[in-house]
Chains A and B, each alone.
Chain A
Amino acid sequence: SAVISQKPSRDICQRGTSLTIQCQVDSQVTMMFWYRQQPGQSLTLIATANQGSEATYESGFVIDKFPISRPNLTFSTLTVSNMSPEDSSIYLCSVAPPTDTQYFGPGTRLTVL
């Protein structure tokens, strides 16, 4: 199994500012994913972040708004830039170790005022 931690666990931010979310895994994994869960909704993939390559973004998500770093096999960051109230969501990272299931971090609850 993989144990994932995220920082911060929650934050309240002002419109127009940026927040960087950190995701730390206790083992080396190649594939890491970032998801968004808007209030009362399901999870939607933002991007796939593989170490050693540029993140791949899903339709509707752009690098300027959600820049991602993946400096090594145990760590990644997601930045939510120039925030608006519509960005209020839970942001979750997940990993998919080979031959194992997909594990999720505890999530970052973001509220934008």
Chain B
Amino acid sequence: AQKVTQAQTEISVVEKEDVTLDCVYETRDTTYYLFWYKQPPSGELVFLIRRNSFDEQNEISGRYSWNFQKSTSSFNFTITASQVVDSAVYFCALSEILNYGGSQGNLIFGKGTKLSVKP
């Protein structure tokens, strides 16, 4: 069975601090996608990243970076120099890859980590 665990329920930091959100997953599939979404207080889900299980390279996008380690089944997310606008709930998610075309199935979500960044 597939499962995503986000052990940190809530994190509170002061602006400009770095913060890492942990994500551990379980799957029997050899190929899969991993995702991170942001849900601000307004409620919409904002896509941040999708990573293919074949690609273990870390990724950096501005202040955001992701560390994918297949050996530990982890896909952690780091925000550098956090800002108040980063305050949101962050979800890690997993989906299977359905076919050679790369189509994905439904997402299995973790419980989310609520990040509060204080000025």
Contact = CB atoms under 8 A, between A and B. Distances in A.
A25 interface: no
Contact of B106 (A30, A33, A90, A98): A33
Q: Is the interface of A mostly helix, strand, loop or mixed?
A: strand
B24 to A, nearest CB: 15
B44 A106 contact: yes
Interface residues of B, number: 20
B31 interface: no
A13 interface: no
A99 interface: yes
Contact of B35 (A30, A33, A101): A101
A99 B106 contact: no
Contacts of A42: 91, 109-112
A102 interface: yes
A113 interface: no
Contacts of A43: 45, 91, 107, 109
A99 B91 contact: no
B43 interface: yes
B43 A31 contact: no
Contacts of A107: 43-45
Interface in B84-113: 91, 95, 101-107, 109-112
30 contacts: A31-B105, A33-B106, A33-B107, A42-B91, A42-B111, A42-B112, A43-B45, A43-B109, A94-B107, A96-B103, A96-B104, A96-B105, A98-B102, A98-B103, A99-B101, A99-B102, A99-B103, A101-B35, A101-B47, A101-B50, A102-B35, A102-B47, A102-B107, A103-B47, A104-B37, A104-B44, A104-B45, A106-B43, A107-B45, A109-B43
Given A96-B95, A107-B45, 6 more contacts: A43-B45, A44-B109, A48-B106, A101-B50, A102-B104, A106-B43
User: Which 3 pairs from chain A and chain B are nearest by CB?
Assistant: A104-B45, A101-B50, A42-B109
